[in-house]
Amino acid sequence: MMKEKEKTALIKERFDVAVGGLAQGITVITDKKTGVQYLAIAGSGTSVIVDKDGKPLLSERVDDDPKGISPF
């Protein structure tokens, strides 16, 4: 069974998390492998961010890009 530290390391390796917004209640989570972005709101839920055509919004960041791009 995987230990908590290993799980945390895998999550940090796969996802980039940007916290911001009203009283830090809004979080944008970016999947580093797919570029898909998710919006998480404290006390509410998580949803895929979509563009005007209803397709998942993709980050400019790619897996091998050393600098993260924050939406805030």
pLDDT of residue 29: 94
Q: What is the pLDDT of residue 57?
A: 92
Residue-range domain boundaries for the chain: 9-48
pLDDT digits (tens, 9 = 90+) for 16-59: 988 876 667 899 999 999 999 999 998 899 999 999 999 999 98
Residues 60 and 12: their CA atoms lie apart, in Å, by 18
pTM for the full model?
A: 0.71
